[in-house]
């Protein structure tokens, strides 16, 4: 009887390793595949491509299902191995036997169901994604409602507990500012330190969409371009990493590093197509917290392609963009300082349309909060249409006038107190 139970325990452990391994492999590999690449795989009738496309359409299902299976697998594996050791060994203490079993269970699950699948996914993401998707898709579809229900139940349970008795050990942005403001020798504190503390506090609440280079400002090359084309564009733009796309920017195939072109300079191979030398792209959602992305970029690539909710390209973000949110603009020998705000006198300021709304609030002491992230987006959201040059809006005592409009983009606006513009008009009359 015991032998039969032991066999069933081994089978259960194998099934758990297989299920978690498949979901972990898919979770690690799928973010490396663009929607455009997925569609081409479907068109070429690659095995597993339809399931992969489904995972890309519903990435939240995969994440939730993997988290649920991971939690269950570790608990069940630890308990099962503890029970097995309890029946096969004669250790002096029951608790010691169970502890050893739990540790062995966790080690086995980590090694075979997490570390190994992730390693394989990193080295060959497309093949792993295609192989794991046919199993990961039905698993995530079935388990997602369960994971979501458990999450909702846990949230409701936590909501019953008074906030004053709950602490997660993390320092909130307000607490960070409070600590920095309680120094007895405030006069001795460096202004730069104050600025960095405030920047770190703000950094924790931002998402990728707020710091990324928007799609319209991306410097890219089509996959049919050559090494010679890339060298010309790098020299002209000053960037060191170029996204490579197929047909449209929504279909990013890879990222070309300037340093990867050095070998072709020596050979004089200027006609090599970029698609053959571009590196695998790393995709992130535009709603991803920037602090999480910064941690990932410390061990991965230093550039990520930002995907919108529909699978298209929203922009790109580099590790430099993230660090600049904390320490301010970082200039190298190829950067040209760009003034985002220019004082025109009489309370009027010329502002770049890409300027974050937070910067506008800081300069004018306002508290504008809209869906838009930039001043140009603010103007369009309030006006309800793409304005013509010279058109104005008013918000929180400010008059914002579109000065330079190019296509669907507002490149520059002039911001001034609304009262000042009225007084100026009265003087002109």
Q: Give the tens place of pLDDT for each residue, 118-174.
A: 999 888 888 999 999 999 999 988 888 888 777 666 555 545 544 444 444 445 555
What does the pLDDT average to over 97-121? 87
- Residue 247 neighbours by CB distance under 10 Å: 11
What does the pLDDT average to over 94-117? 85
Residue 297, C-beta contacts closer than 8 angstroms, at least 6 positions apart: 304, 319, 322
Domain definitions of the chain by residue range: 2-156, 208-327, 341-428
Q: Checking phi first, is residue 268 left (phi over 0); if not, alpha (psi -120 to 50) or beta?
A: left
Confidence at 259, pLDDT banded by 50, 70, 90: confident
Q: For the domain with range 208-327, which CATH number is right: 3.20.20.70, 3.10.580.10, 3.30.460.80, 3.90.79.10?
A: 3.10.580.10
As to burial, measured by CB atoms within 10 angstroms (0-12 exposed, 13-18 middle, 19+ buried), residue 242 is: buried
What is the pLDDT at residue 402? 92
The pTM of this model reads 0.47
Residue 20, C-beta contacts closer than 8 angstroms, at least 6 positions apart: 66, 69, 70, 73, 109, 113, 114
**Residue 73 contacts residue 14 (beta carbons within 8 Å):** no
CATH fold, domain 341-428, is 3.30.465
Q: Per DSSP, which regions of 280-385 are E strands? A: 283-285, 303-307, 313-318, 341-345, 348-352
Long-range contacts of 101-109 (CB under 8 A, 24+ apart): 102/78, 103/78, 105/13, 105/74, 105/77, 105/78, 105/79, 105/80, 105/81, 106/74, 106/77, 106/78, 108/13, 108/17, 108/77, 108/81, 109/16, 109/17, 109/20, 109/73, 109/74, 109/77
Compute the distance between CA of residue 207 and CA of residue 192 in angstroms, rounded to an integer.
24
Q: Which of 139-143, 289-293, 296-300 has the lowest mean pLDDT?
A: 296-300
Between residues 181 and 91, which one has the greater pLDDT? 91
- Residue 187 neighbours by CB distance under 10 Å: 6
What is the pLDDT at residue 1? 58
**Residue 109 contacts residue 77 (beta carbons within 8 Å):** yes
Judge whether residue 243 has pLDDT over 90. Answer: yes
Judge whether residue 183 has pLDDT over 60. Answer: no
Six-digit token string for 44:
């070429």
Judge whether residue 87 has pLDDT over 80. Answer: no
What is the pLDDT at residue 420? 55
Judge whether residue 395 has pLDDT over 80. Answer: yes
Question: What share of the chain has pLDDT > 70, as a percent?
Answer: 79
């Amino acid at each position: 009887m015991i032998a039969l139970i032991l066999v069933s325990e081994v089978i259960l452990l194998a099934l758990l390793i297989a299920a978690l391994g498949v979901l972990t492999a898919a979770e690690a590999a799928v973010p490396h595949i663009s929607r455009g690449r997925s569609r081409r795989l479907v068109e070429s009738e690659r095995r597993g491509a339809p399931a992969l496309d489904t995972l890309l359409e519903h990435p939240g299902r995969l994440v939730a299902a993997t988290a649920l299976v991971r939690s269950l697998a570790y608990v069940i594996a630890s308990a099962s191995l503890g029970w097995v050791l309890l029946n096969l060994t004669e250790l002096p203490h029951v608790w010691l036997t169970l502890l050893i079993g739990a540790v062995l269970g966790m080690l086995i699950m980590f090694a075979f169901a997490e570390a190994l699948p992730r390693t394989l996914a990193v080295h060959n993401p497309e093949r792993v994604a295609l192989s794991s998707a046919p199993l990961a898709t039905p698993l995530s579809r079935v388990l997602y409602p369960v994971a979501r229900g458990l999450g909702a139940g846990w949230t409701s349970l936590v909501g019953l507990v008074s906030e004053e008795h709950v602490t997660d050990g993390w320092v909130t942005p307000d607490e960070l500012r409070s600590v920095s403001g309680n120094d007895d020798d405030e006069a001795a504190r460096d202004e730069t330190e104050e600025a960095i503390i405030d920047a770190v506090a703000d950094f924790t609440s931002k998402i990728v969409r707020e710091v990324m280079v928007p799609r319209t400002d991306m410097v890219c090359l089509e996959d049919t371009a050559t090494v010679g084309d890339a060298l010309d564009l790098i020299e002209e733009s000053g960037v060191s990493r170029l996204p490579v796309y197929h047909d449209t920017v929504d279909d990013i195939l890879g990222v070309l590093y300037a340093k990867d072109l050095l070998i072709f300079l020596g050979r004089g191979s200027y006609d090599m197509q970029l698609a053959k030398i571009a590196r695998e792209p790393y995709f992130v959602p535009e709603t991803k917290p920037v602090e999480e992305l910064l941690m990932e970029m410390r061990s991965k690539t230093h550039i990520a392609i930002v995907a919108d909710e529909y699978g298209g390209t929203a922009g790109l973000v580099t590790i430099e963009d993230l660090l600049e949110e904390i320490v301010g603009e970082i200039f190298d020998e190829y950067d040209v300082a760009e003034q985002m705000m220019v004082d025109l006198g009489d309370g009027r300021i010329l502002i770049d349309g890409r300027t974050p709304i937070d910067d506008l609030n800081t300069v004018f002491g306002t508290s504008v909060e809209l869906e838009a992230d930039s001043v140009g987006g603010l103007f369009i959201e309030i006006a309800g249409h793409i304005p013509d040059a010279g058109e104005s809006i008013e918000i929180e005592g400010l008059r914002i006038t579109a000065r330079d409009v190019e296509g669907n983009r507002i490149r520059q606006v002039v911001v001034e107190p609304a009262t000042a513009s009225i007084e100026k008009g009265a003087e002109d009359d």
